[in-house]
Amino acid sequence: MQAALITARETVELLEFAEPAPGDGEAVVRIRYCGVCGTDLHAWQSGALSNPAVCGHEWTGVVAAVGAGVASVREGDRVIGGIAPACGACAACRAGYARDCPNQLASLMTTPHGGFAPAILADARRLTPAPDALDDLEAAMVEPLTVALHATRRTDIRLGDSVLVLGAGPIGLLALQCAKAAGAGRVLVVEPVPERAALALALGADRALDPRAADVAALALDETGGLGPDVVFECAGIPPTIQQAVDLVRRGGAVTLVGLATDPATIIPGTWLSKEVTVVASVAYAHAEFAMAADLIAGGRIAVRPLHTHTAPLDGIADAFALLDGDRRQIKVLIEP
């Protein structure tokens, strides 16, 4: 069986792996779709490789086999890949901090490859049933939605709050919808790519600001009655926008860091201090949030299909990465193994 891995800068290769067979507590899932995450693209662009299991972690498929002791899923079930629940045994869990159990995310990193493959072996506890109301394409978008959902749940948004989202990539477009679902009033999006800005407006943003053509800070003040947004979601994942998020939020407001900036960022601590901002970091998700995200799609409260811009077969994955890198109009690219 062949699976795709990023092996060097701007290089993704099909490598040979044994067909997976389930052990105790495990399941084999035949992959229907696997999305290309921003972290995948950044690894491809830089050559800074992560755990192989993380290369292609936005997958959905059908259970093909289960090992001994698995009762949560059966052969033929449609499932979404995620992370396991809190382990209940580590120091964090024993101290009452199950939400911060480090073994949840660690459970994702236990396979020799990710979902850019015909099949994957997974700890059965990681799997969330895909609701019948979701088709396979929508189920493949649950994982990125769960990232935005987790960030929103970590943020103190009150009914009617003004929200600004920096970056209208997949996570930013989902974060703006989650903010609206959580009760936000006016939602602004900062995005330089016209097609992404237009999609943000179509998905519920009240205004899209082009940072190349406008004084974003002045417009954000004008759009919020001179106050500044109550909440800023940093979804661009680049060093300059971390300080920009704090500059834009109102005094006493909240900034949530969602995008993953891998390079050092320069900040102005005096601004953070004098504005008394609450800064929240949000990484990935919790196991229970996958079912919540799936239900939001199934209930029509979050739209994911408009984000899908391209599908490629497994043997076309190299071209798919190059397309996503070169064409900023692309948003969510899916691989169909």
Concatenated DSSP letters of 17-71? -PPP---TTEEEEEEEEEE--HHHHHHHHH-----GGGTT-EEEEEEEEE-TT--
> What percent of the chain stands above pLDDT 90?
87
Tens-digit pLDDT profile for residues 123-146:
999 999 999 999 999 999 999 999
Tens-digit pLDDT profile for residues 12-32:
999 999 999 999 999 999 999
The pLDDT assigned to 239 comes to 92
Mean pLDDT of 165-191: 97
Answer whether 175's CB lies under 8 Å from 200's CB: no
Give the count of beta carbons closer than 10 Å to the beta carbon of residue 50.
15
The answer to whether residue 334 scores a pLDDT higher than 80 is yes
Residue 279's pLDDT band (boundaries 50, 70, 90)?
very high
* 7 is an active site residue: no
By CB neighbour count within 10 A (0-12 exposed, 13-18 middle, 19+ buried), where does 64 fall? middle
* 42 is an active site residue: yes
**Which residue shows structure tokens 């920009």?**
244
Give the helix/strand (H/E) hosting 274: helix 269-274
Domains and CATH numbers, the chain: 2-146+285-336 (3.90.180.10), 155-281 (3.40.50.720)
Q: Which of 7, 39, 309, 311 is catalytic?
A: 39
The pLDDT assigned to 50 comes to 77
State the pTM of this model.
0.94
Tens-digit pLDDT profile for residues 207-227:
999 998 889 999 999 999 999
Answer whether 187's CB lies under 8 Å from 211's CB: no
In angstroms, rounded to a whole number, what is the distance separating the alpha carbons of residues 125 and 115? Answer: 17
Closest C-alpha among 204, 320, 179 to residue 254 = 179
Answer whether 177's CB lies under 8 Å from 303's CB: yes
The pLDDT assigned to 100 comes to 87
Q: Which of 7, 42, 278, 309 is catalytic?
A: 42
